Amino acid sequence: MKTVIATDQAPQAIGPYSQAIKANGFLFASGQIPLDPVTGQLVYGGIGAQTHQVLKNIKAILNKEGLTFADVVKTSVFLHDMNDFAEVNKIYAEYFTSEPPARACVQVARLPRDVGVEIEVIAAY
């Protein structure tokens, strides 16, 4: 059994997908890009600002279900440019402060709306 999870505190889906799905004791959150949930506009200001916005969006989805970053067991980080890895990693560490989840980080040719970073998470209830 699965349940669609949605919150207006994170950007609405820009395609045929859900913000997150709850199934079998896990929350599977779709990849988040640096969209401001209020304006629907991209956040600019470099990879640092983009990464903070992505993680704020993830936090909003987690909070909808009473979860925190401590409940995240796996993340996938997609970067447009692997040269941004150090800065993204530094900001990521501000949100995952102890017992960080398993993670994959890859450079991709292109991300939605030509952003610099997208992150998806899996959390356990």
**Which residues touch 92 (CB under 8 Å, ≥6 apart)?**
51, 55, 77
- CA-to-CA distance for 110 and 79, rounded, in angstroms? 9
- CA-to-CA distance for 49 and 74, rounded, in angstroms? 22
- CA-to-CA distance for 38 and 57, rounded, in angstroms? 11
122 closest CA partner among 50, 65, 40: 65
How many other C-beta atoms lie within 10 A of the C-beta of residue 46?
A: 11
Place of tokens 């983009």: 50
Active site residues: 105
